[in-house]
Amino acid sequence: MIWKRKLTSRFESALGYAAQLHNWQLRKGTNIPYVAHLLAVTAIVLENGGDEEMAIAALLHDAVEDQGGVKTLEEIRRRYGERVAKLVESCTDSMTTPKPPWQARKQAYLDHLRQAPADARLISLADKLHNARSILFDLRQNGDAVWKRFNGGKSGSLWYYHSLVQVFKELEHSALVDEFERVVNEIHALA
């Protein structure tokens, strides 16, 4: 099968920009460079039908939240256009520092997902799936110590991931949603 879509220099630019923005950032409680997460999310988006602009937004999905707020969003808009900026904004649960309280922020994000466009939901689902896979792996390796990394702790994190599964299932039926549910169920079983 010949792949008909082509990733252009815009994608290459976004890859470099994402690596630059997150250069010193590590995944919570690990020594894993944060860019590994961005690449994994982008791969899931591309593997599930995402176009180049969705892939660029996947690379930058945490840039606003973690690396500069509205100023970074405006730079993304300038560099990559309105659609990419809207996708990134749709995947962002906070643009302010300090962030709002964890529970309220997560509930607001769940509510937002119900109105989010399908292309933004795919990026969000890819993000949450990769996060859940990482939690499951770490839970198998380190047991309940993994929950100390998260502001919601064990009970809040379990609530949030279960709620995400419910929202994604309400909105669409896909193999990716099924995979996310399977991983979250494994997390619940081990927790």
- Catalytic residue positions, numbered: 65-66
Q: What's the CA gap between 78 and 25, in Å, rounded?
A: 24
Contact 8, 52 (CB under 8 A): yes
Q: Which residues contact 137 (CB under 8 A, 6 or more apart)?
A: none
Residue among 90, 113, 94 nearest 104 (CA): 94
Report residue 25: phi and psi, to 5°: -85, 140
